[in-house]
Amino acid sequence: MRTYGCQMNVHDSERLSGLLEEAGYTAAADGDTADVVVFNTCAVRENADNKLYGNLGMLAPAKTERPGMQIAVGGCLAQKDRSEIQRRAPWVDVVFGTHNVGSLPVLLERARHNAEAQMEILDSLEVFPSSLPARRESAYAGWVSISVGCNNTCTFCIVPSLRGKEADRRPGDILAEVQMLADDGVLEVTLLGQNVNSYGAEFGDRQAFAKLLRSCGEISGLERVRFTSPHPKDFTDDVIDAMASTPNVCHQLHMPLQSGSDRVLKAMRRSYRQTKYLGIIDRVRAAMPDAAITTDIIVGFPGETEEDFQQTLEVARQVRFAAAYTFQYSPRPGTPAATMPDQVPPDVVKDRYQRLLAVVNEGSLLNNRDLVGNTVEVLVAAGEGRKDADTERMSGRGRDGRLVHFTPTGPAVDPEGIRPGDVVTTRVTYGAPYHLVADGDLLSHRRTLAGDRHEAGIRPKTPGVGLGLPSFGKPAARPEAAVIGCG
């Protein structure tokens, strides 16, 4: 399973893995030759296309040597390109879209039986993806989807045409899945949605997302709740109150800016302006002074002038983001921005990108240096790895989402050692732009069920939770829809 793109794709891949295991497949170990290779793709940026077709080209000789090997391509790029994938890579066996994740095992079997490629691309969601089983990648952190699709019409974004209109999941189904993960030892859950804080719009409750956060606070054993990604236009004070007053909701907020210029925001069809954005940040920091705020920024949107860009720099200086995901604008076919006049020359975009990066890094560095001497609680992570071999530091995330490299020493360390999934507290000794360092002895070390399960190689395997259709008032779908329907 190879995944590109956002957290939603990562979670979809967990569903695909769960489906395949339920159908009798076994995951291939690293370095082993696989009988089935699945690419779950992204279409947001141009290099995603290049990466996919490059990898497919590298697999062509293997497919020639082993004709029984199967290659499947799904996700956003499959939804967008459809038959183009099989035209450019005719050795691909299965192409499936974002709305029919659940069809993959059937399509693979049909391709084998018929000895010909299969393509199935549906244009709308019929069954919520979380009705499908999942094989989780982590023993200590889990993704939980609360909605799919997006009702916004940002001119640079292709996601709404690929993921469809927003569909909200029943709150009872969401909380049942979160409870199931917590019962399995998972300590941290991230609530996912293309526009996560508009949750509830489909069933007419503008406070549904804040209520959901508060309800997560009542789940025993769940220590951390995060969410991504919200939209400034839907971000309300009740969500800030829920974040500030619910102990297990982390004081971390990813709030996409995209541009600091009102003129560019209007051209992007982003329905907020600089003043509203900064007002949200001020209210968040008033309620949670320790909040780490991250963002997305696009540089070089069509028509962006130097004056517009300076507005973005000014917002970045004023907010002092903990981190920013910065992107050089690239036109995506099918989006209004791709055909707009006054496309910014690539050399200008690159220059602005470097200047923005310098401002963002400076703000992040100042933030992290301010934390030197503070005590941080770290959920030890596997994917982050050790900082370097010489210091033998381990790594994890603080409650605010910051990456922390720490020295696993001191009398507080359990004699049996520290595992991913354990929780430690330590004191920050150094702040860098992208991480914190804690080189002193640990103040505490707590071994957890999640650490036990990670050490034993056990990952949560959740069955489908809630087989209902996307909206709240509709009757439940038949159970077999989890297997033969779309996801």
- Measured torsion, CA atoms of residues 23, 24, 27, 28, in degrees rounded to the nearest 10: -130
How high is the pLDDT of residue 11?
A: 86
Residues of the chain with pLDDT under 50: 467-487
How high is the pLDDT of residue 9?
A: 84
Which residue is associated with the tokens 């069933």?
A: 203
DSSP string, 409-476: -STTS-TT---TT-EEEEE--EE-SS-EEE-S--SEEE--HHHHHHHTT---EEPP---B-SSTTSPB
How high is the pLDDT of residue 130?
A: 76
φ, ψ dihedrals at 430, nearest 5°: -155, 140
Which residue is associated with the tokens 């469809």?
A: 164
How high is the pLDDT of residue 487?
A: 25
Report the alpha-carbon distance of residue 357 to residue 322 in Å, rounded: 13
196 Cβ contact partners less than 8 Å away, ≥ 6 residues apart? 146, 147, 209, 227, 228, 229, 230
Report the alpha-carbon distance of residue 19 to residue 296 in Å, rounded: 33
Report the alpha-carbon distance of residue 149 to residue 79 in Å, rounded: 13
For the chain, domains (ranges, CATH) are: 2-120 (3.40.50.12160), 129-370 (3.80.30.20), 375-453 (2.40.50)
Contact 73, 85 (CB under 8 A): yes
List helix spans (H) across 66-168.
76-81, 83-88, 104-114, 159-163
How high is the pLDDT of residue 174?
A: 94
Report the alpha-carbon distance of residue 42 to residue 194 in Å, rounded: 14
29 Cβ contact partners less than 8 Å away, ≥ 6 residues apart? none
Q: How far is CA 28 from CA 35, 55, 466, in A?
A: 8, 18, 30
| pTM, two decimal places | 0.86
382 Cβ contact partners less than 8 Å away, ≥ 6 residues apart? 138, 420, 454
480 Cβ contact partners less than 8 Å away, ≥ 6 residues apart? none
